[in-house]
A and B are shown apart, each in its own frame.
Chain A
């Protein structure tokens, strides 16, 4: 079982360009999440989706958009990248039941550098 896959593994992007980070899970989890991780700041939630067709904003949503067309995929799009979006991005998923959602399963991450 693959669990959660993310692509690309790493990317260097010119400021002002757009990019979509891909995330796919095969665990049939209802809920999915995008986090960014910066040194000293821990994991910060960007956007989340409790179920296919719905999305919500997290702590740091500005500059990012998401869609959830189906259960398995949860792409994150940067419409016009800026250097402050340089970070490691983690996708995660969980069962959305009350007790289970606290156990989130994380993908390997995408390291993005915006120049």
Chain B
């Protein structure tokens, strides 16, 4: 079967660093993506890793280890506006993505 596992909830304070992990078990793999979704809104793309290593985009970084079927999203200098749900997604053959169930991040002051 295909599955992606990520924590359901994470809490942190403003200015802190938080890491959201994602492990996957899929029949095909064409990269690991991360999406952000604010309450009541649409998911928006954050990052994509096709190869092992770290990708950095501003305060957000994403890491992939294909040998471990594992990746993470690292959020630095947390702000209140970062409170949202974060989804990892694995690319499949064709163009489909399989999404994890999401991690709700709550940032407090």
Contact = CB atoms under 8 A, between A and B. Distances in A.
Contact of B50 (A40, A42, A43, A99): A99
Contacts of B96: 33, 45, 48, 56, 58
A75 interface: no
A43 B87 contact: yes
6 closest residue pairs by CB, A with B: A42-B101, A106-B42, A43-B99, A101-B95, A31-B95, A102-B33
Given A35-B99, A41-B101, 11 more contacts: A33-B95, A42-B87, A42-B99, A43-B43, A50-B94, A58-B96, A102-B97, A104-B97, A106-B42, A106-B43, A108-B41
Interface in B19-47: 30-31, 33, 35, 41-45
Interface of B: 30-31, 33, 35, 41-45, 48, 50, 87, 89, 91, 94-102
Nearest to A42: B101
Contact of B45 (A33, A59, A90, A104): A104
14 contacts: A33-B95, A41-B101, A42-B100, A43-B87, A48-B95, A56-B94, A56-B96, A58-B96, A59-B98, A92-B43, A99-B50, A103-B48, A104-B97, A109-B42
Contacts of B87: 42-43
A20 B87 CA distance: 27
Nearest to A33: B96
Centre residue among A43, A105, A106, A108 by max chain B CB count within 10 A: A43
Interface in A34-63: 35, 40-45, 48, 50, 56, 58-59
